[in-house]
Structure formats: C-alpha cells, structure tokens
C-alpha cells in the first residue's frame, strides 16, 4: 500500500512531461491530463479508505532513514485533502477544456497550460503528503512556480501587472519559510515533522515562539490571513476563469493546511491561540466588508474567500479536537464551494459578457441553468441550512461555545455577522443580475440605491459574449452536485473529520513514524 | 554548535540590502532584492551547518564526528536551484512587462486606484490611472482570447525603446502599438 504514496507526486509530474512533449496536440494533452488526475483521484481514494481503517502511512523515499531522507506521510487529513483537491482539479480541467475547445485555442500559445496545471497539481499533492518541513517547502515552490505561469498566462498587460504583485508577495513568503526552516534546523537539528514535534518541547518558550511566528508568517501570507491578505483580491480576478477557480479553491487551502500542521503537530505546546482568534476575527470582518464594497463578481468572491479563511483559522484557534474536526470539514466544504462559485461566474461572464453586478440583468429568465448553478453554491457559502456551509459553521460555533470564554462569544458573533454579510453580498448580486428584468426601466432607482458601487474597480467592464459549451456547464454542475453530496453525506464525512480532529490532537511519535517507515519499506 | 560571526554579519547585510531593494518600484530592483534575500537564506542554511568538517560519506574510515553535516548542504542546494528557476521566470516577466511598454515598474492596484478616485484626488492623477484601468478592460476575460498576443520577439519598433531605457512611470503609446500589430 505504501508504494502507492509516491505516485501521488510522480504521476502528475510524469503527466506534465508527457503533456509538454505533445505540446502541439491539444487533444492528446487533454487526455493525458484527464487520465493523470483521474488516476491520482483513484489512488487517493484507496489511500483514504486504507489510512482511515488502519494507521497513517509513512514512506521513506529511496529508503533513506528518517532523519536524512525525505518522508512522505499520509494520514487521514492528507488523504482526504488529496481526494477533494483531485475532484476539484479534475472538474476545473474539464471546464477549461470546454472553454478551450469553444474558443479554438489550437494555435494559441497555451500549450503550456496543461503541463503547468499538472505541475500545480503535483505541488499541491506534495505539500499535502510532505512528512518533513523541507519537502513541504519544495511542494510549495512547485505549486507556486506553476501558479506564476498560470496567473500570467498569455502575458497580457493586466495579467502581468496583477501577476507581479502575486509573485513578489509569494517570493517573500517563500524566503521567510526557508529562513524559518533553517532556524528550526539550527535549533532542533532536524526538519522531520515528527522529530520537530518531539524536540520542540525541550526548547525554551522564547525560541519556540520565534520559530512558531516565523512559520505562521510564511503560511499566513499563502493562506491570505488578514494583515497578510491584501495581495489576493487584486491578483486573482485578472487570471483566466478556470485558473482563478482552482487558485481560490486550493492554493489558500494549502496555506491553511500548513497552518493546521503547524498548530496541531509542530507546536502543540506553544500557545498563541488568543492571537489567532483576534487575527481570524479581523480576517472575517475585514474580508467581508471588502466584498460588500465591490461591484464585480470575481472581486466579490475573492474578498469572500479571504473572509472565509478566517473561519478556518478560528476553528484552529479553538484548538479542541471537535473544533479541528469542524475546521477540516469547513475546509473541504470551502474548497468545493468557492471553486464552484468561480466557475459559475466564469459561465456568467461568457453568457452576459460582464461580471459587474451593475450591468448584469435578466439572467433568471435568460439562463435559468446558470442561475441555478450560481444560486446553490451562493446560499451554501452564505451558510443557509441545510447546506454544508451551515453544517460547518454550526460545528465551529458549537465547538467555540463549548469553550465558552468571552472572546469565543465575540468570535461567534463575528462569525454570524460575516455569514450574514456574505449572504447579503451574494444575494445582492443575485437580485441585480438574475431577478432584475432585462428590459427594466427602473434602473436609475437601482443605480441610486447602490451608487456607491459605481466607482468600484471594474464596475463598467464589458467583454464579448461567447457560446457556452456543454462541457463547461456540465463540469460546473458536477461540482454543484459534489457540494450537495457534502451536505447529503455530511454524517459520514463529519465523522471522518472528527476522527481527523482526534488524530491531529494526539502527538505524532517519531518512533511510530520510523517503525511505520520500515514496515513500509517491506512492502516495496 | 559553533558558528562563524563573519558569516552571520554577511547574512544580516544580505537580508537588509535585499529587503531594501525589494521595496523599490522597479521590477529589476525587486529581482535583485529577491536574489539577495535568497542568498541570505541560503547562507543561513550554511551557517546552520556549524563548524565545517571533512566530506561526509567519503572515505568511511573517518570518524563520523569529524563529518560536515550533510543535510544543510542538500537543503541549500535545493534552495539554490529553486531560486535560480524563479529568477529566470522573473527575468522573463520583467522582459514581458517592459515589452508591453510599461517599463519595468510595479503598477498600482486597481482597488487602490478606485479608492483614490473615490477620495477625489486632483484630476491629473486620475487621468493616468483611468488610462491604466481602461487598458485592463480588454484583457481580463479569458486566457485564450485572440487579443492575447503570443510572446513575440523584438520588433524594430522595440529597438527604439531599447535605446531609451530610462525607467518611465507611464506606458508609452508607441511600444504598445508595436506589440499589437
């Protein structure tokens, strides 16, 4: 079983190489990408079932013993996230294939799209299954470099401009992360996460705090946590629709994942939960207030993305097993829902030629299917029952209420307000874009009510309308079905997340990892 | 663990200069800043190595205690490769940015621009930003837009710009037209 683990990284990398070789043949590239991601999805599902039933898998790559070699560590959390990200990556891939087929990109220079996309996938998987900090860094770098290429795809002026911001910010966070790794090695003499966890307890609290904050700073930039989140709303909306969708769904979550590992496994003793609670409150509130002030759907969604990262940090800061389980559930929910919404907005953009809610109108009668595909994830993100957003938030608030300190109550209130404001922004877009009659004459009145949005960025953007291939609608619909499945199967999934929460709350013993590794070697 | 003070001072200087250079608006200086920062971080990995010893694993007769720690070396090698790849990409980006006629400066955030407009700043400041926003309009949709120009080689029009490489704040109309055609 453990011989399957390295495939999670190597398959997408090999796929990328093959796709690059067939750079001139788009059809081959498409099939290579689809087959690769499907294979990873199958492998990850098998691993998830196995790991959940047995113990976490640790594989020493190339047989180097633990402190020296690279360890891949798959526990339930990692396997679950790989499964979810494979589903999302596959759906977005189909969406982009449909888009490319419709627009006839046979000759355009996007032959690098598929290889970059697969490398991005490889980076995401590597980060999820990394057993040591340095491998996590390498995973981050793989996905970041691929994302640099994807965000500046085509090299237009707008994309270069927003890409530069994204790239420079990411570079700073990478250097911080690397320095943090060096400092940790200096203090502890290891980069293996299990060993770090064991040896960290022996360090004086001040050293622990410095190392802890360095790591959190680096991951916080990637996860777009409040004071470090300003790069996100400007850089995401300019990228191509499928790229934005996958970035929004997955890249920030990789940062959140790294924060989960930091908080639960590396520094279980170093307690900065109060700081995290305040930061998460600020992330939620500031993020959603930004969304309220926007007129363009992709920007609105980028701001809600920032604000909802706050919920995950909130769950981590509560730090009970139940809260961590709820965080994981919320993370899974948010990956799928946020991606779906961005894809739906991509459909809207093609149908109406704009994503400005001041210009959109009459979509309800004109495009009822798109309306449905927007509406379901929108109320899901807004946290209306019975959807998974409600379940996740309720579980978070419940875990916070069980702790019951005054700060927790403040956080719950803040979370509810954020949820309502999310609903308000998304439903405002719904009312204007979908319910408003396309021939309505009461426009001055509407304009009057939301005049403050007139000067918001990209409020007047109008692009050409395009046909929507069935594949694009189908892949978006597929993801909507997944969000509904997250609701319908919330019981088993939530139990799984609760087990993850319990698993993460127990320290990982290095002896356990080492013994697992040796048995893993026998399986080769 | 014993460390060299000289190396620590050099590393601190690299970090300080790197941060200073990264705060500039010119992308080339940002690149230089990033290189300095990257080298600083790599040096930090080397400092972590401690007192250098003999080559590890080579000549097994040696006492293991006299070996250099091999792990930081491996780590910094990997980090150097990553830094190299990223700087190559940054250089390409700078070139593209310059090719599009914006010189190589980091442009203002669209949201900041909108904020500034709301605050009703002097008219001349607004005009520049309006222009940038308008230029964005035609390019924000799809990565397969026919207007998305492939990365072209230098045309003769660009050679005029080559002679004049002084950093400018505003996009020059000529360079842009040259690309579109």
CA distances to A119, A287, A382, B9 from A334, in Å:
23, 15, 11, 45
Contacts of A162 in chain B (CB under 8 A): 110
Q: What is the mean pLDDT of residues B58-71?
A: 71
Contacts of A158 in chain B (CB under 8 A): 135-136, 139-140
DSSP A95-145: HHHHHHHHHT-SSSSGGGHHHHHHHHHHHHHHHHHBSBHHHHHHHHHHHHH
Would you call B114 and A234 a contact, using CB atoms and an 8 Å cutoff? no
Rounded Cα–Cα distance for residues A239 and B143 (Å) = 8
Q: How many helices (H) and strands (E) does chain A have?
A: 22, 2
Rounded Cα–Cα distance for residues A334 and A245 (Å) = 12
Determine the pLDDT at residue B54.
75
Q: Give me the domains of chain B, ranges plus CATH numbers.
A: 5-102 (1.10.287)
Contacts of B133 in chain A (CB under 8 A): 457-458
CA distance, residue A161 to nearest chain B CA (Å): 6
Residues A494 and A122: beta-carbon distance below 8 Å: no
Contacts of A243 in chain B (CB under 8 A): 143
- Of A188-192, B104-108, B147-151, where does mean pLDDT reach its minimum? B147-151
Question: Which A residues in the span 334-373 are in contact with B, Cβ-Cβ below 8 Å?
Answer: 349
Q: What is the pLDDT of residues A343-357, one digit of tens each?
A: 998 888 888 877 787
Rounded Cα–Cα distance for residues A513 and B27 (Å) = 45
- Of A295-299, A358-362, B118-122, where does mean pLDDT reach its minimum? B118-122
Residues A361 and A351: beta-carbon distance below 8 Å: no
User: Comparing A356 with B47, which gets the higher pLDDT?
Assistant: B47
Determine the pLDDT at residue A238.
80
| A157, A455, A461 ranked by CB distance to B100: nearest | A157
Confidence of residue B115 (pLDDT cuts 50, 70, 90): low
Determine the pLDDT at residue A440.
56
What SS3 state is found at A57?
A: strand
Chain B within 8 Å of A198 (Cβ-Cβ)?
no
| B27, B102, B145 ranked by CB distance to A157: nearest | B102
Would you call B136 and A240 a contact, using CB atoms and an 8 Å cutoff? no
User: Comparing A302 with A469, which gets the higher pLDDT?
Assistant: A302
Q: pTM above the 0.80 mark?
A: yes
Q: What is the pLDDT of residues A166-187, one digit of tens each?
A: 898 999 999 999 999 999 998 8
Chain B within 8 Å of A148 (Cβ-Cβ)?
yes
CA distance, residue B55 to nearest chain A CA (Å): 16
What number of C-beta contacts closer than 8 Å exist between A and B? 170
Chain B within 8 Å of A241 (Cβ-Cβ)?
yes
Question: Which B residues in the span 72-91 are in contact with A, Cβ-Cβ below 8 Å?
Answer: 72, 75, 78-79, 82, 85-86, 89-90
Mutate to test the interface with A, among B140, B149, B180 (most CBs of A within 10 A): B140
CA distances to A8, A418, A494 from A41, in Å:
9, 34, 20
CA distance, residue B128 to nearest chain A CA (Å): 15
CA distance, residue A397 to nearest chain B CA (Å): 33
Phi, psi (rounded to 5 degrees) for A29: -55, -45
Is residue B60 packed enough to be buried (19+ CB in 10 Å), middle (13-18) or exposed (0-12)? Answer: exposed
Cβ neighbours, 10 Å, residue A147: 26
DSSP A456-517: STTTT---------HHHHHHHHHHHHHHHHHHHTHHHHHHHHHHHHHHHHSPPPHHHHHHHH
Would you call A458 and B140 a contact, using CB atoms and an 8 Å cutoff? yes
Residues A74 and A51: beta-carbon distance below 8 Å: yes
Contacts of A105 in chain B (CB under 8 A): 144
Q: What is the pLDDT of residues A229-267, one digit of tens each?
A: 888 888 888 888 888 899 988 999 999 999 998 888 888
Rounded Cα–Cα distance for residues B81 and A400 (Å) = 45
Determine the pLDDT at residue A89.
93
CA distance, residue A33 to nearest chain B CA (Å): 18
CA distances to A215, A496, A507, B159, B176 from A501, in Å:
21, 9, 12, 61, 55
User: Comparing A53 with B166, which gets the higher pLDDT?
Assistant: A53
Would you call B71 and A149 a contact, using CB atoms and an 8 Å cutoff? no
Chain A within 8 Å of B150 (Cβ-Cβ)?
yes
Going from N- to C-terminal start, the domains of chain A cover 269-506
Task: Provide ipTM, 2 decimals.
Answer: 0.82
Closest CA to B133 of A157, A353, A356, A154: A157
Q: What is the pLDDT of residues A99-120, one digit of tens each?
A: 776 665 544 456 788 889 999 9
Q: What is the pLDDT of residues A46-85, one digit of tens each?
A: 999 998 888 888 888 877 777 677 888 888 899 999 999 9
Would you call B148 and A456 a contact, using CB atoms and an 8 Å cutoff? no
What SS3 state is found at A357?
A: coil
Contacts of A233 in chain B (CB under 8 A): 111
Q: What is the mean pLDDT of residues A282-289?
A: 92
Phi, psi (rounded to 5 degrees) for A24: -90, -10
Position B114 pLDDT exceeds 60: yes
Q: What is the pLDDT of residues B81-111, one digit of tens each?
A: 999 999 999 888 888 888 776 566 776 666 6
CA distance, residue B163 to nearest chain A CA (Å): 22
Would you call A138 and B78 a contact, using CB atoms and an 8 Å cutoff? yes
Determine the pLDDT at residue A175.
92
Determine the pLDDT at residue A39.
93
Confidence of residue A509 (pLDDT cuts 50, 70, 90): low
Phi, psi (rounded to 5 degrees) for A502: -65, -40
């Amino acid at each position: 079983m453990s011989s399957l683990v390295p495939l999670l990284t190597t398959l997408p990398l090999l796929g990328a190489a093959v796709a690059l070789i067939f750079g001139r043949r788009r059809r081959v590239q498409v099939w290579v990408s689809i087959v690769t991601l499907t294979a990873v999805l199958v492998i990850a599902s098998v691993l998830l079932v196995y790991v959940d039933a047995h113990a976490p898998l640790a594989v020493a790559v190339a047989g180097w013993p633990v402190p020296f070699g690279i360890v891949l560590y798959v526990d339930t959390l990692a396997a679950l996230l790989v499964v979810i990200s494979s589903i999302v990556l596959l759906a977005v891939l189909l969406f982009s294939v449909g888009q490319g087929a419709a627009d006839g990109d046979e000759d355009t220079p996007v032959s690098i799209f598929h290889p970059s996309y697969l490398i991005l996938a490889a980076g995401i998987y590597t980060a999820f299954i990394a057993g040591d900090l340095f491998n996590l860094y390498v995973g981050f770098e793989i996905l970041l470099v691929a994302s640099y290429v994807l965000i500046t795809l085509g090299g237009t002026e707008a994309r270069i401009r927003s890409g530069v911001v994204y790239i420079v910010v990411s570079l700073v966070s990478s250097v911080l992360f690397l320095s943090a790794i060096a400092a940790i090695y200096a203090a502890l003499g290891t980069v293996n996460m299990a060993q770090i966890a064991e040896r960290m307890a022996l360090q004086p609290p001040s050293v622990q705090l410095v190392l802890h904050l360095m790591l959190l700073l680096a991951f916080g930039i990637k996860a777009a946590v409040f004071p470090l989140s300003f790069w996100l709303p400007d850089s995401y909306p300019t990228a191509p629709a499928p790229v934005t969708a996958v970035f929004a769904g997955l890249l920030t979550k990789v940062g959140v994942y790294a924060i989960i590992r930091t908080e639960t496994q590396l520094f279980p003793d170093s307690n900065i939960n109060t700081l995290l609670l305040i930061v998460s409150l600020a992330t939620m509130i500031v993020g959603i207030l930004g969304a309220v002030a926007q007129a363009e759907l992709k920007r609105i969604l980028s701001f809600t993305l920032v604000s909802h990262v706050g919920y995950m940090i909130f769950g981590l800061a509560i730090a009970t097993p139940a809260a961590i389980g709820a965080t994981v559930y919320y993370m899974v929910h948010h990956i799928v829902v946020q991606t779906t919404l961005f894809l739906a907005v991509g459909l809207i953009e093609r149908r109406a030629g704009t994503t400005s809610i001041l210009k959109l109108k009459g979509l309800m009668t004109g495009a009822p299917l798109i309306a449905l595909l927007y509406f379901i994830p929108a109320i899901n993100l807004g946290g209306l029952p019975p959807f998974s957003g409600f379940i996740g938030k309720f579980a978070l608030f419940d875990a916070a209420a069980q702790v019951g300190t005054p700060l927790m109550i403040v956080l719950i209130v803040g979370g509810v307000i954020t949820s309502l404001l999310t609903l308000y922004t998304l439903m405002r877009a719904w009312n204007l874009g979908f319910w408003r009659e396309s021939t309505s004459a009461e426009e001055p009145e509407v304009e009057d009510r939301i005049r403050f949005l007139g000067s918001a960025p990209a409020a007047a953007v109008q692009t050409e309308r395009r046909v929507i291939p069935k594949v694009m609608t189908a892949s978006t619909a597929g993801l909507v079905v997944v969000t509904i499945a997250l609701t319908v199967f919330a019981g088993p999934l939530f139990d799984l997340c609760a087990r993850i929460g319990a698993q993460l709350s127990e320290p990982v013993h290095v002896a356990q990892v080492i013994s697992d590794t040796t048995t893993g070697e026998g399986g080769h | 663990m014993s460390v060299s003070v000289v190396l620590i001072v050099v590393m601190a200087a690299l970090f300080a200069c790197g941060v200073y250079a990264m705060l500039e608006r010119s992308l080339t200086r940002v690149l230089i800043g990033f290189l300095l920062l990257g080298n600083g971080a790599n040096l930090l990995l080397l400092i972590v190595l401690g007192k250098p010893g003999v080559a590890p694993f080579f000549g097994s007769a040696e006492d293991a205690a006299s070996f250099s720690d091999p792990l930081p070396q491996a780590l910094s090698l990997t980090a150097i490769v990553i830094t190299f790849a990223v700087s190559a990409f940054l250089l390409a980006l700078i070139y593209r940015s310059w090719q599009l006629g914006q010189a190589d400066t980091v442009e203002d955030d669209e949201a900041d621009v909108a904020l500034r407009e709301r605050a009703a700043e002097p008219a001349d400041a607004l005009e520049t930003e309006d222009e940038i926003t308008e230029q964005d309009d035609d390019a924000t949709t799809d990565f397969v837009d026919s207007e998305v120009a492939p990365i072209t080689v230098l045309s003769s029009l660009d050679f005029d710009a080559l002679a004049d490489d002084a950093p400018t704040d505003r996009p020059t109309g000529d360079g842009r037209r040259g690309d579109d055609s």
